[in-house]
Amino acid sequence: MQVIVVNSQKGGSGKSSVCRTLSVHVARAGRSAFLIDLDPQRTLAQWHEVRQNEEPRRAELDAQNLKDGLEQLRQRDVDYAFIDTPPQASENLDEVFRCADLVLVPIKPTPDDLKSAAVTVTRLKELGVPFLFVVTQAIQNTNITAQAIAALSHHGPVAQTLIVNRVVYPAAFTDGRTPEEIDPKGNAALETAKLWVNIETCLHANMKAYSERKVANG
């Protein structure tokens, strides 16, 4: 099982949206996925409660029993666990980060959001946890988006695929769906598929690097 934690220091960055769209995408591809909502606002959990389709499933866990809960999911041969977190990067989340195979850091292309990214990334680097920036709510073909990608690349890897600001996202989320379920061939669905390829590539690279370090260390 691979554990994907989604965290950003800034509220409204699209953490829950990323969890929703990616988990539904892998579930529609026939992989088993579980959602875990550690954010007290429970945006992800509330979306799942009104959802008609039972996939992806949701595990009711908190930070204290997360490690044991993930082990139980692993024993059930679950493929992916997606964890939504509070908008912070304090030491209180260290144990959550340590459980991750990859931390996704959603960032809106705004000056305030870019400043907040450094806080999360500093903590992840201190812990040695792999991460990937995901630009969300982007406006295509604008200087500010291009500048944001350039700025983020100085801090770490940035997903090639952007999550563009589209009306279909909130429209789909209202009744527990995602854009991919409303229009499987639409731009938002294609965007999600491409982003998942970016994430899989990152996960595979991290696994390879880990194996090489393990061999080198005997």
Residue 205 pLDDT: 85
Distances 143 to 79, 116, 146, 165, 187 between C-alpha atoms, Å: 38, 20, 5, 15, 21
pLDDT digits (tens, 9 = 90+) for 153-193: 999 999 999 999 999 999 999 999 999 999 999 999 999 99
pLDDT for 215 beyond 50: no
The answer to whether 86 touches 4, Cβ cutoff 8 Å, is: no
DSSP track, 178-216: -HHHH-TTSHHHHHHHHHHHHHHHHHHHHHHHHHHHHHH
Residue 7 pLDDT: 93
**Bond into 56 cis (ω within 30):** yes
Distances 75 to 72, 102, 206 between C-alpha atoms, Å: 5, 20, 22
The answer to whether 103 touches 2, Cβ cutoff 8 Å, is: no
CATH architecture of 2-216: 3-Layer(aba) Sandwich (3.40)
Q: Tell me what the mean pLDDT of segment 40-56 comes to.
A: 95
What is the model's pTM? 0.93
In the chain, % of residues over pLDDT 90 = 73
Residue 24 pLDDT: 98
Write phi, then psi, for 8 (nearest 5 degrees): -150, 145
Domain boundaries, the chain: 2-216
Secondary structure class of 106 (helix, strand, coil):
strand
- Select the more confidently predicted residue: 70 or 122: 70
Residue 208 pLDDT: 60
Residue 82 pLDDT: 98
